[in-house]
A and B are shown apart, each in its own frame.
Chain A
Amino acid sequence: MELSALVPFLAAAIVAGTPILFAAVGEVMAERSGILNLGVEGMMLVGAVMGFMITIVTGNHWTGIIAAMAGGGLMALIHAFITVTLKGNQVVSGLALTIFGTGVSGFLGKSYQGMPTADPFTPCVVPLLSDIPVLGPILFKQDVLVYISIILALGFWFLLYRTSWGLTIRSAGENPAAADAVGISVSRVRYLCTIIGGIMAGLGGAYLSLAYVPSWQENLTAGRGWIAVALVIFALWNPLRAIAGAYLFGGVEALAFRLQTAGIQISSFFLSMLPYLLTILVLVLVTVRLRQEAGAPLALGVPYDREER
């Protein structure tokens, strides 16, 4: 592929990777605090439908974004209540929320199916930077949510690895007893991070329905929430690596789409399968070389109970 074709392809890869990036960075935060949230897919769907509906009602996509964040955050609050306060099983709660989110988003969005967005996000050209050859058109002629997703990923990385708050969050996920012993409220940290995760998943969903597609249809996310969960492992629970991973997945998705429109004689079903195939492949590879040092937070998925000895 020559350069002139590569530039729009890479730009498309970034767009396709952005919803996954939002959700994956949010999930990194939740898992770093020790909470596994398998409800990401459901939270993305709720975010997508809420964002879409409210944008149509108000005519302003920013109110839609706020609604999407609220929807995802609320679902995550349920997850936090079940897993932190009630010390319930995180896998079961997450799966239930995904099923719930799939159903409720389909129900809410029924009459909005296939409608065009009232106020979609459009590319927002960054002056000067967009004039850089090659890199400019790929990175700086995107819509504003793309920039926000990158800033958030960088910001959360800084928060996790360069601040005392990040230390607190990671300690809750590594050894909550140690955190508790120095006076950190493990519950509060876990609630907060889970809710941040839900808000980010909601944003990812809204990106699909307000910028990427931009429209609503049932099961719009088509498993991107699950890819985001897998991506967290691929990224070794680090938001910076999540950026690279998200764009890799975005690239495969964009490639499959391109090959289809180019009329290559491969079944379109096979092509749309590619990102998921890559997910499995990546997980196998990562798991094989995963080491304790850089691995999962040690207390991931384990409820914390002070009285338990």
Chain B
Amino acid sequence: MKREPLIEMNNISKSFPGVLANHNISFRVYPGEIHALLGENGAGKSTLMSILAGLYRPDSGQIKVRGRQVQFRSPRYALESGIGMIYQHFRLVNNFTVAENIVLGAKRRGIINRQEGMEGKVQELSERFGLGVDPAARISNLSLGEQQRVEILKMLYRGCDVLIMDEPTTVLTPREVQDLFKVLRFMADEGRAVVLITHKLHEVMEIADYVTVLRKGEVAGSDRIENLHESDLTHMMVAREIEYGQVNRNTAPGPAVLEIKGLQVRGDLGYLAVKDATLDIRSGEIVSIAGVAGNGQRELVEALAGLRTPAKGSIRMKGRDITDYDIRKRLELGLNMVPEDRLGMGLVPNISVMDNSILRSYYRPEFSRGPFLNYSRIRKYARSLVENYNIYLSDINYPVNFLSGGNLQKLLLGRELDKRPQVIIASYPVRGLDVAAAEAVFQLLLRERDKGTAILLVLEDLDDIFRLSDRVAVMYDGEIRAVLDADTADLNTIGALMLGAAPTGA
């Protein structure tokens, strides 16, 4: 019997300024199926599903629901066609009760809300799907797992028969993951369909019926789970050629400068984002953190820079315990950070290049006396930065948001490197840069390494990691799973570790 697909996406393409996020993707979901959408960061998974949920409009291609062609102008139209998406950040009103959140915006008769009627219906639905949510509870008092169940209920209440979940297990405990999977299986058995956006291989193997793998905005493969092995999936996700020649490694690093021991750090939502990080970074070496975004890298880096207080563990720099040092004290010791978000955190967009150049050092005697700034010195300093780091700009008095991404990054790096740091921590230093600009940033970092600085990088591209690093630390689920020598490690091993495979051997 040939079944009719519930969802049919044909030749979908979508580009954002400078990025082709989806290229000619075709994607089918059948009733009763749990369909995993697998891929690295930036592979286009979320974009594709946001198109299906009506949040984005595709540049080209068509979508059919139950054989009928549709065009979603907003999430509302997708919901009306029975397609609901649960985002990583839940869309719930914290001050409302569970029942209020569930009936919010739903079509029904009459406008008067009767507490009991509202809660009774929600209770009924909750019991039928074994979700166990108290309809009278306030969202702000619920755990993240419970909130997720409220989101699921919300979609069921609206009669959704296609449920899209974006990385649903990130915020859950292992027990909650099992409960979630049970609910999803129950929904599929009822003839609904579930699309699971994920990058965790073992979850795919455990729950999915069908897998589609995306790589760089295109379908890298798609098949029933029985026909696939884990290694096939890894290969589909990361397979690529290493395109550049190797950079010379530093074979004789100096003593450890930064020592991280048993560090635990809480994320924004209160759960432990970094569960166990132990890592040494030695003078004159580059250590890269490899991992799918959201596995604790950001929280780790922020804890090292002093932006986040660790829950447990210690950070030592040159033998001194700096765990409780504030940001400026760390800076004075020579620990510098290049943040992930250049214009948001690194620089102040609307003030000039000159002013930005002294943001981290304006208080030093070379630039100020008491409350007064010495602008002739600052101007001279800004000019020297521009020259030394090859920043292309027309005028140092212009606001920095006129600069291109590459020049912004060079300014930011220049500002930090110029302080003769002992340790540099840089998050995604080449994100969004073109090849030439990225190369310039890499050269700056390598030059710095050869001067004896200890460098910790967070990078997303495995090729970059291999080219640049002396050692690679793989982070998964808040833990540093393995630290490998870049020379001896191979791409597939690291890829598998990033996706949660247990480390072998040492």
The A contact surface, by secondary structure, is helix
> Would A184 and B105 count as touching, CB distance under 8 A?
yes
> Would A293 and B91 count as touching, CB distance under 8 A?
no
Q: Is B106 an interface residue (CB 8 A)?
A: yes
A130 shortest CB reach to chain B, Å: 32
The stretch among B95-103, B378-386, B450-458, B470-478 that forms the contact with chain A is B95-103
> Would B79 and A163 count as touching, CB distance under 8 A?
no
> Would A182 and B108 count as touching, CB distance under 8 A?
no
Interface Cβ pair total, 8 Å cutoff: 71
Most-contacted residue by chain B among A164, A166, A181 (CB, 10 A): A181
> Would A298 and B106 count as touching, CB distance under 8 A?
no
A93 shortest CB reach to chain B, Å: 21
Complex: A269 Cα to B108 Cα, angstroms: 56
Contact with B along A77-113 (1 / 0, CB 8 A): 0000000000000000000000000000000000000
Partner of B79, one of A167, A175, A179, A182: A182
Q: Which residues of B contact A289 (CB under 8 A)?
A: none
Partner of A171, one of B79, B96, B112: B96
Q: Which residues of A contact B79 (CB under 8 A)?
A: 182-183
B87: nearest chain-A partner, CB-CB? A181
**Chain A, 163-191, CB within 8 A of any chain B CB:** 163-168, 170-171, 174-175, 177-184
> Would A182 and B105 count as touching, CB distance under 8 A?
yes
Q: Which residues of B contact A175 (CB under 8 A)?
A: 91-94
Q: Is B252 an interface residue (CB 8 A)?
A: no
Partner of A174, one of B76, B96, B103, B113: B96
Contact with A along B345-373 (1 / 0, CB 8 A): 00000000000000000000000000000
Q: Which residues of B contact A163 (CB under 8 A)?
A: 111-113
> Would B75 and A180 count as touching, CB distance under 8 A?
yes
Complex: A162 Cα to B108 Cα, angstroms: 15
A161: nearest chain-B partner, CB-CB? B113
Contacts A175-B92, A177-B91, A183-B79 given; does A162 touch B104 at CB 8 Å: no
**Chain B, 195-214, CB within 8 A of any chain A CB:** none
> Would B113 and A298 count as touching, CB distance under 8 A?
no
B77: nearest chain-A partner, CB-CB? A183
**Chain B, 53-84, CB within 8 A of any chain A CB:** 55, 74-76, 79-80
> Would B104 and A179 count as touching, CB distance under 8 A?
yes
Most-contacted residue by chain A among B79, B96, B100, B104 (CB, 10 A): B104
Contact with A along B148-178 (1 / 0, CB 8 A): 0000001000100000000000000000000
Q: Which residues of B contact A180 (CB under 8 A)?
A: 75, 91
> Would A167 and B154 count as touching, CB distance under 8 A?
no
A159: nearest chain-B partner, CB-CB? B111
Complex: A266 Cα to B93 Cα, angstroms: 51
Q: Which residues of A contact B138 (CB under 8 A)?
A: 293
Q: Which residues of A contact B94 (CB under 8 A)?
A: 174-175, 298
**Chain B, 217-256, CB within 8 A of any chain A CB:** none
> Would A162 and B96 count as touching, CB distance under 8 A?
no
Complex: A284 Cα to B192 Cα, angstroms: 54
> Would A183 and B105 count as touching, CB distance under 8 A?
yes
> Would B93 and A181 count as touching, CB distance under 8 A?
no
Complex: A292 Cα to B94 Cα, angstroms: 10
Chain B interface: which size bin?
Answer: 20 to 34
Contacts A162-B112, A165-B111, A183-B79 given; does A298 touch B105 at CB 8 Å: no
Complex: A293 Cα to B87 Cα, angstroms: 25
Q: Which residues of A contact B91 (CB under 8 A)?
A: 175, 177-178, 180-182
Partner of B95, one of A174, A177, A181, A184: A174
A149 shortest CB reach to chain B, Å: 23
Complex: A16 Cα to B108 Cα, angstroms: 42
A294: nearest chain-B partner, CB-CB? B95
**Chain A, 224-281, CB within 8 A of any chain B CB:** none
**Chain B, 441-491, CB within 8 A of any chain A CB:** none
Complex: A114 Cα to B5 Cα, angstroms: 77
Q: Which residues of B contact A298 (CB under 8 A)?
A: 94-95
B163 shortest CB reach to chain A, Å: 14
B115 shortest CB reach to chain A, Å: 9
Q: Which residues of B contact A170 (CB under 8 A)?
A: 93, 95-96
Complex: A274 Cα to B138 Cα, angstroms: 40
Complex: A29 Cα to B92 Cα, angstroms: 21
Contacts A162-B113, A167-B113, A168-B105 given; does A293 touch B75 at CB 8 Å: no
Complex: A182 Cα to B140 Cα, angstroms: 19
Q: Which residues of A contact B87 (CB under 8 A)?
A: 181
Complex: A164 Cα to B158 Cα, angstroms: 15
B157: nearest chain-A partner, CB-CB? A182
B258 shortest CB reach to chain A, Å: 33
Most-contacted residue by chain B among A162, A175, A180, A306 (CB, 10 A): A175
> Would B76 and A178 count as touching, CB distance under 8 A?
no
**Chain A, 285-300, CB within 8 A of any chain B CB:** 292-293, 298
A152 shortest CB reach to chain B, Å: 18
Complex: A285 Cα to B70 Cα, angstroms: 55
> Would B113 and A178 count as touching, CB distance under 8 A?
no
Complex: A170 Cα to B95 Cα, angstroms: 10
Partner of A168, one of B74, B104, B154: B104
Q: Which residues of A contact B93 (CB under 8 A)?
A: 170-171, 174-175, 178-179
Q: Which residues of B contact A292 (CB under 8 A)?
A: 140
Q: Which residues of A contact B105 (CB under 8 A)?
A: 168, 171, 179, 182-184
> Would A167 and B92 count as touching, CB distance under 8 A?
no
The 6 closest A-B pairs by CB, nearest first: A183-B76, A182-B105, A181-B91, A178-B91, A175-B93, A163-B111
30 A-B contact pairs sorted by A residue (CB < 8 Å): A162-B113, A164-B112, A164-B113, A166-B113, A168-B104, A171-B104, A174-B95, A174-B96, A175-B91, A175-B94, A177-B91, A178-B92, A179-B104, A181-B75, A181-B87, A181-B91, A182-B79, A182-B91, A182-B105, A182-B154, A182-B158, A183-B76, A183-B79, A183-B80, A183-B105, A184-B104, A184-B105, A292-B140, A293-B138, A298-B94
Known interface pairs A170-B93, A293-B95; 11 further A-B residue pairs with C-beta atoms within 8 A, sorted by A's residue number: A162-B113, A163-B111, A168-B104, A168-B105, A171-B96, A174-B95, A182-B105, A182-B106, A183-B74, A183-B80, A292-B140
